[in-house]
C-alpha cells in the first residue's frame, strides 16, 4: 500500500498548431496596437494584475452567496466579502445590506430591478430617463415590468417636472425609479434628493429607487461637493462596474441592496450547500480578486489623484477641440468630453462612440496628453 499524495491530472488534450500559434501572436499584436487607440469607452487599461496570474490554473467558481459557506471550495468568497465591504462604505450602505461581485453594471441593474419588482409587485411601473443605459431598458423587458420613459434636460439629467407629471398621469402608483448616477453619453446625474422630494410631494409612500452608478460610482466618492447618491439619500440598491474606473481584463461589477429585499428571493440549495441569491449560478471567482488587488494597492488619495488627472485631461481636450472651432463640453461632475461628431474615420480609429450627432471621448487613466495630441492632430488634418 502506498500513500502517495495524489497529483492533479493537468494533461491538456492537444497543442496549438504552428499556424494557430502564428494567428494568436498576430492577434496579440493587434490588441497591443488597438489598446493605444482606446479613447471612447469608460474602461481603464491602467492596471497590472500579473501577480494574480497563478489563479488561472484553478477552476475557481464563486457559485452561491459570497457570505455563506459552500460545498464548492475553490472559491474566493473571503476576498469577495472584503470587496463588498469596501463598496458598502463607499456608498454609505447600512449595516443591513448585502451584495456580490457581478459580471458588470448590466447584471447589477438587472438584480436591482428584480428585487424592486419582487417588492413592489409585478404591476409596478419603472420610471427612467430617455438617457438611461440600454441595459436598463433590456432588463425591464426581461423582467416584464411596465415602463415609463421620462424626458431629459439638455445636459442629459432627468427632467424632474416631466417625472412628476408622468407619475400623476399613471393610475397605478406602484413606483420603481431608475436613477442614472452618471449617464453613458453625457455623464449627467439624476439627483436622488430631487426625485425623493417629488415622491414626498405626491404622497407616494411605497417605492423603490435603484441607482445605476456603473461608471460614476467609482468617480463621485473621490470628488469634493458632489450630489449625494449613496444609501444615505434613500436609494434601495446600486450597481457599479468594476472594469470601468478600476479597470480589469475581465468585465465585472458590484451590486449592493438593502437586506430586507432579499427575503423573497433567497433559497437554500442542497446541491451547492449554499444559498442561491445571485442571478447566475456559477460566478466568476477571478474578478473579485482583481477588485481586491486594486483596492489593496490603491489608497483613497490615489483614487482621488487618478480621478483628478482624468478631469485635467478632459479640460485639456475640451480646450484643444474648442481651439479647432468645435463645440466641446462636459458636465460638472463628469470627465466625459462631449463634442459634435465629426471626421467619422478618425472617430472610428480611436474607438469613439457616437450617439446621434454627439460623440464622446473619455480620458480614462491610461490616456496621456500625448495620446490626446495625436487624436487632435488627426482631427485637425481631416
Ligand X SMILES: *Cc1c(COP(=O)(O)O)cnc(C)c1O
- Tell me how far, at minimum, the Cβ of 34 lies from ligand X, in Å: 18
CA atoms of 184 and 364, how far apart (whole Å): 14
90, three cell numbers:
463607499
Residue 84's alpha-carbon distances to 16, 291, 341, 362, 371, in angstroms, are 40, 10, 39, 27, 35
259 carries an active-site annotation: no
Count of Cβ atoms closer than 10 Å to residue 22 Cβ? 11
Q: Which is nearer to ligand X, 70 or 135 (CB)?
A: 135
Q: Which is nearer to ligand X, 275 or 364 (CB)?
A: 364
Q: Which is nearer to ligand X, 97 or 180 (CB)?
A: 180
Binding-site ranges for ligand X (CB under 6 A): 104-106, 133, 135, 180, 182, 184, 212, 214-215, 241, 251, 253
Q: Which is nearer to ligand X, 124 or 246 (CB)?
A: 246
Residue 126's alpha-carbon distances to 45, 192, 272, 274, 351, in angstroms, are 34, 15, 34, 32, 32
Give the torsion through C-alpha atoms of 154, 159, 165, 169, to 10 deg: 90
What are residue 100's DSSP bridge partners? 255
Residue 220's alpha-carbon distances to 186, 214, 226, 295, 321, in angstroms, are 15, 11, 7, 16, 25
- Tell me how far, at minimum, the Cβ of 29 lies from ligand X, in Å: 26
* Residue 107 CA from chain centroid, whole number: 9
Q: Which is nearer to ligand X, 212 or 277 (CB)?
A: 212
CA atoms of 42 and 91, how far apart (whole Å): 20
Q: Which of 57, 334, 348, 355 is catalytic?
A: 334
- Tell me how far, at minimum, the Cβ of 132 lies from ligand X, in Å: 7
- Tell me how far, at minimum, the Cβ of 239 lies from ligand X, in Å: 7
To 10 degrees, what angle do helices 300-323 and 369-380 make? Answer: 20
CA atoms of 169 and 167, how far apart (whole Å): 5
- Tell me how far, at minimum, the Cβ of 375 lies from ligand X, in Å: 22
* Residue 363 CA from chain centroid, whole number: 17
Q: Which is nearer to ligand X, 105 or 230 (CB)?
A: 105
- Tell me how far, at minimum, the Cβ of 12 lies from ligand X, in Å: 32
Residues that are catalytic: 334
Amino acid at each position: 500500500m502506498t500513500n502517495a499524495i495524489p497529483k492533479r491530472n493537468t494533461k491538456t488534450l492537444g497543442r496549438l498548431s504552428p499556424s494557430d500559434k502564428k494567428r494568436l501572436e498576430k492577434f496579440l499584436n493587434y490588441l497591443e496596437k488597438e489598446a493605444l487607440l482606446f479613447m471612447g469607452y469608460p474602461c481603464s487599461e491602467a492596471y497590472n494584475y500579473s501577480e494574480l496570474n497563478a489563479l488561472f490554473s484553478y477552476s475557481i467558481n464563486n457559485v452561491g452567496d459570497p457570505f455563506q459557506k459552500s460545498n464548492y471550495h475553490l472559491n474566493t468568497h473571503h476576498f469577495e466579502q472584503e470587496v463588498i465591504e469596501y463598496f458598502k462604505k463607499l456608498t454609505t450602505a447600512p449595516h443591513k445590506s448585502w451584495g456580490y461581485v457581478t459580471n458588470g453594471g448590466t447584471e447589477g441593474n438587472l438584480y436591482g430591478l428584480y428585487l424592486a419588482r419582487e417588492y413592489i409587485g409585478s404591476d409596478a411601473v419603472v420610471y427612467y430617463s430617455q438617457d438611461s443605459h440600454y441595459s436598463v431598458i433590456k432588463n425591464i423587458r426581461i423582467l416584464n415590468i411596465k415602463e415609463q420613459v421620462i424626458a431629459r434636460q439638455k445636459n442629459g439629467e432627468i427632467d424632474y417636472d416631466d417625472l412628476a407629471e408622468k407619475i400623476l398621469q399613471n393610475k397605478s402608483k406602484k413606483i420603481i425609479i431608475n436613477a442614472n448616477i452618471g449617464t453613458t453619453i453625457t455623464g449627467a446625474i439624476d439627483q436622488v434628493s430631487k426625485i425623493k422630494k417629488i415622491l414626498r410631494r405626491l404622497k407616494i409612500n411605497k417605492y423603490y429607487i435603484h441607482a445605476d452608478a456603473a461608471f460614476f460610482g467609482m468617480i463621485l466618492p473621490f470628488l469634493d461637493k458632489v450630489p449625494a447618491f449613496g444609501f444615505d439619500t434613500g436609494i434601495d440598491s446600486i450597481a457599479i462596474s468594476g472594469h470601468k474606473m478600476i479597470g480589469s481584463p475581465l468585465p465585472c461589477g458590484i451590486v449592493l441592496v438593502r437586506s430586507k429585499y432579499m427575503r423573497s428571493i433567497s433559497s437554500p440549495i442542497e446541491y451547492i450547500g449554499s444559498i442561491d441569491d445571485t442571478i447566475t449560478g456559477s460566478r466568476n471567482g477571478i474578478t473579485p480578486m482583481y477588485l481586491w488587488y486594486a483596492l489593496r494597492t490603491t489608497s483613497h488619495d490615489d483614487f482621488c489623484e487618478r480621478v483628478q488627472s482624468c478631469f485635467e485631461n478632459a479640460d485639456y481636450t475640451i480646450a484643444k477641440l474648442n481651439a479647432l472651432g468645435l463645440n466641446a463640453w462636459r458636465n460638472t461632475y463628469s470627465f466625459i468630453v462631449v463634442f459634435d461628431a465629426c471626421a467619422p474615420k478618425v472617430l472610428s480609429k480611436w474607438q469613439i462612440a457616437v450617439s446621434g450627432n454627439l460623440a464622446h471621448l473619455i480620458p480614462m487613466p491610461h490616456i496621456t496628453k500625448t495620446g490626446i495630441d495625436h487624436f487632435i492632430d488627426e482631427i485637425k488634418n481631416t
